Amino acid sequence: MNARAYDKALNTVRKLCLILPEAREVEAWGHPTFRAGKKMFAAFGEEEGRMSLGLKVGFERQDALLEDSRFFPTPYAARQGWVSLFIDDRIDWVEVEGLLREAYRQVALRRMLKTLDAQG
């Protein structure tokens, strides 16, 4: 895996996550994870030598996303409503931003959601 591409993708994910109310980055299991308060909504890492982004999307949305070959069940977390997305040079960052916001909404507290909604 190209270290420069990894850093660039991680920095983009970091930027998209940390603009969310009370979001923070925490290293866990050797990977950057992103949390709303104490609850994790995204994790950046690699699977099969490829960059990937794990997202907490809930079971209903999980089934729909897994029909798309870009997504796969997040190892160890799929049973909790997580999916992962392979990140490559064709990634649609607008789509990723929407998915990150969706994942954030799964775990954020009411006050965080109120702040997010007020931001527009």
Which pLDDT belongs to residue 48?
Answer: 85
Q: Is 86 helix (H, G, I), strand (E, B) or coil?
A: strand
Which pLDDT belongs to residue 16?
Answer: 98
Query: Rounded CA gap, 93 and 16, in Å?
Result: 9
- Residue ranges and CATH numbers for the domains of the chain are 3-109 (3.90.1150.30)
pLDDT at residue 96 tops 80: yes
- What mean pLDDT is reported for the chain? 94
Of 86, 87, 119, the residue nearest 104 (C-alpha) = 119
Query: Rounded CA gap, 58 and 22, in Å?
Result: 21
pLDDT tens for 41-69 read: 999 999 888 999 999 999 989 999 999 99
